[in-house]
Chains A and B, each alone.
Chain A
Amino acid sequence: MNSPHRTSPTTPDTTTPGTTTPDTAPGGTPPAVTAAATAGAALDARLRVDRAAFALDLALAAAPGEVVALLGPNGAGKSTALRALAGLLPLTGGHLRLDGRVLEDPARRLHTPAEQRPVGVVFQDYLLFPHLSALDNVAFGPRCQGRPRREARAEAAAWLERMGLAEYASVRPGRLSGGQAQRVALARALAVRPRLLLLDEPLAALDARTRLDVRAQLRRHLADFEAVAVLVTHDPLDAMVLADRLVVIEDGHEVQSGSPAEVARRPRTDYIARLVGLNLYRGRAEGTRVTLPDGTVLTTAEELSGPAFVAFPPSAVTLYRERPQSSARNLWQAEVTGLDLHGDQVRAELSGALPMAADLTPAAVAELGLAPGTAVWASVKATQTHAYPA
């Protein structure tokens, strides 16, 4: 709560929701700035893909050993970004550098095809070659790199061993379980010794129980991986467990980036706020008062000035049937629009001056006699809110 307000993390061009990236100015990326900003970066990319109905414009930089998660709703452009990094989709603008080597620069008509990039990809549905055994799937990459057959197979066997799949070497992908197939796919991608590992929704195809195991294993393998890994997911939990840094994408643009903890604590868009389960509002701060665009005033514990976000968890909301005789200044009239049971708590959706979600115990719901349509008073203690600059 009382942590100092650092200004936005890592990328210089953190954007506020609704506004476009500041450096979309003509002329592309200024080389001097890029060189300085990415001196220690293994991956340095500005991905621009313009299509009729969709435009992706994403700056991406990562240090060796870093795991970056691209998080965003479906259709945000995550997979497009991944395909562009892999070389499966040509950039229409920007650039892509890996370990100082330019892989793609449309302005100079430079495009390194996918097969010549030091990139490994784990596809969402793995795309293991159905006619090859697990071992031959993994050996495929080394073979394509010109390694002799026996050597490639020995190397593949070592990878399968590391994945704990030694006894499945001769099994065809069709007979592997989801978790096993995922590990073979990971081994296959790592066997080309990539400098950039791309994972497209690596856990999406797994059932809930397998997911837990595979997530833990994947986390271990990613921690061992010495080059850059970029992971695409729409699942915040996967992103937060697996990644060192999140880049949240909406409509083809970055809306926020930072460590998982930072993003979870200080969401900057409704999408992230919903993902991490916070009520989020944007307004103008003057001291401890934040005025929302419609005039509603929120009192917070932190002093700020200028555009600001205010966030508080649903559990910080207290509901009353009658106007309470309390000193709380954050007190509003609201109407219950929905009630849902989540675990041992009831989530109440409220409409009114400040639409919000509130968590109550089932006993409290019964005591208050809440039902959709019930008029209530809602209060939030200032100390339970969190305000930060927008």
Chain B
Amino acid sequence: MKDRTTARGRSRTTGPGRDGVAGAGPDGANEASAGPATAPPRRRGTRLRGTRRHPGSQRVPVTLLLPALLGLAFLVLPLIGLLVRAPWSGLSEQLTSSAVWDALRLSLICATAATGVSLVLGVPLAWLLARTELPGRRLIRALVTLPLVLPPVVGGVALLLVLGRRGIVGSWLDSAFGITLPFTTTGVVIAETFVAMPFLVISVEGALRAADPRFEEAAATLGASRLTAFRRVTLPMIAPGIAAGAVLAWARALGEFGATITFAGNFPGRTQTMPLAVYLAMESDPEAAIALSLVLLVVSVAVLVGLRDRWMSTP
């Protein structure tokens, strides 16, 4: 440190003509110390570590390998079973029946609507959690996360108690506006939103925390209000995180069962979504249930493909 500064200083005193060049030499080296100067040893270090514990160079102990393979089989076999027992010949017939279409259409509409509501409410909520010094922020985050771990049926019961016809808010909605939410298509959307929004909030909050808040400061110095900075700088920068959160929420909403059946019931064409239809079909027409399950499996795989960059890229 001292050497460097004195060296630079000396070049100043030796004459203005040489200043620029002589001074910039040690200078540049100093600035670059985070990069090229220290890079070679660091690179060497990782290479050493790499050769020492290369994953393939050691034998995997059987006590770990066996349960691992069993676990894999346990997860994959049911899916294979579904494919094996699928009524491939009658599949097109099954899938074109109006009941299936109704359920599928309702599922897609409700899951999409729930995702939309989650985006509108969840992104600002995530921003609030990530970017402000809100008092009780930790508690709020815990409350937001609760539906993630709460059994969905409990969520459905809770929704009924609040928004049901005799619920705290529901009775008021009913008497003041004549609005009834439970056992309607809107109720399905509400139940799905309740279960799916936490996924979106957590995902977006993570993206916001990873995004450098100084970009918002830079926007402020350019005359952008906080809202403008959020809209024109932050939002585009965290778009991938929002998209991932939205896909997660959508997938969760699509598969929602417990809260939906509790809060919205099971009326074909109105509140009977795919999972409910599958469950009911298992009793009356197992082949239809398998066909419906296949559809949901395809949707799930599509979601996975959509998210592969985020989840499957880590080796």
B6 cross-chain contacts in A, Cβ below 8 A = 274, 277, 314, 342, 347, 357
- The complex places the Cα of A189 from the Cα of B222 at a distance, in Å, of 7
Please count how many residues in chain A sit with their CB below 8 Å of the partner chain's CB atoms: 53
Q: Is the CB of A140 within 8 A of B7?
A: no
Q: Is the CB of B10 within 8 A of A208?
A: no
Q: Is the CB of A129 within 8 A of B217?
A: no
Q: Is the CB of B233 within 8 A of A313?
A: no
- The complex places the Cα of A345 from the Cα of B3 at a distance, in Å, of 13
Contact of A206 among B5, B22, B31 (CB under 8 A): B31
Interface residues of A in 298-315 (CB under 8 A from B): 313-315
Question: Does chain B have a CB within 8 A of A275?
Answer: yes
Q: A235: shortest Cβ distance to chain B, in Å?
A: 6
At the interface with chain B, which of A116-124, A287-295, A325-333? A116-124
A237 cross-chain contacts in B, Cβ below 8 A = 8, 12, 19-20, 23-24, 27
Q: Is the CB of A88 within 8 A of B217?
A: yes
Q: Is the CB of A127 within 8 A of B11?
A: no
Q: A211: shortest Cβ distance to chain B, in Å?
A: 6
What does the 1/0 interface line of A203-216 toward B look like (CB < 8 Å)? 01111110110000
Q: Is the CB of B28 within 8 A of A207?
A: yes
Q: Is the CB of B27 within 8 A of A208?
A: yes
Question: Does chain B have a CB within 8 A of A130?
Answer: yes
Most buried by B among A87, A205, A208, A357: A208
Contact of A275 among B5, B14, B212, B220 (CB under 8 A): B5
- The complex places the Cα of A90 from the Cα of B145 at a distance, in Å, of 34
Q: Is the CB of A359 within 8 A of B237?
A: no
What does the 1/0 interface line of A261-286 toward B look like (CB < 8 Å)? 00010000000001111100000000
Known: A208-B29, A359-B10. A141 touches B223 (CB 8 A): yes
Q: Is the CB of A192 within 8 A of B222?
A: yes
Question: Does chain B have a CB within 8 A of A115?
Answer: yes
Please count how many residues in chain B sit with their CB below 8 Å of the partner chain's CB atoms: 43
- The complex places the Cα of A151 from the Cα of B27 at a distance, in Å, of 41
Q: Is the CB of B31 within 8 A of A140?
A: no
Q: Is the CB of B223 within 8 A of A211?
A: no
Q: Is the CB of A113 within 8 A of B220?
A: yes
Q: Is the CB of A276 within 8 A of B12?
A: yes
- The complex places the Cα of A119 from the Cα of B223 at a distance, in Å, of 9
Chain B, Cβ-Cβ closest to A185: B218
> Which residues of chain A have a CB within 8 Å of any CB of chain B?
86-88, 113-117, 119-121, 123, 127, 129-132, 140-141, 144-145, 188-189, 192, 204-209, 211-212, 235-237, 240-241, 264, 274-278, 313-315, 340, 342-343, 345, 347, 357, 359
A-B contact pairs, 28 of them (CB 8 A): A88-B217, A115-B220, A115-B223, A115-B224, A120-B221, A129-B236, A132-B236, A140-B222, A140-B232, A141-B222, A144-B223, A144-B224, A192-B223, A205-B31, A208-B24, A211-B27, A211-B31, A212-B24, A235-B27, A236-B12, A237-B8, A237-B20, A237-B27, A276-B12, A278-B9, A313-B10, A343-B11, A347-B3
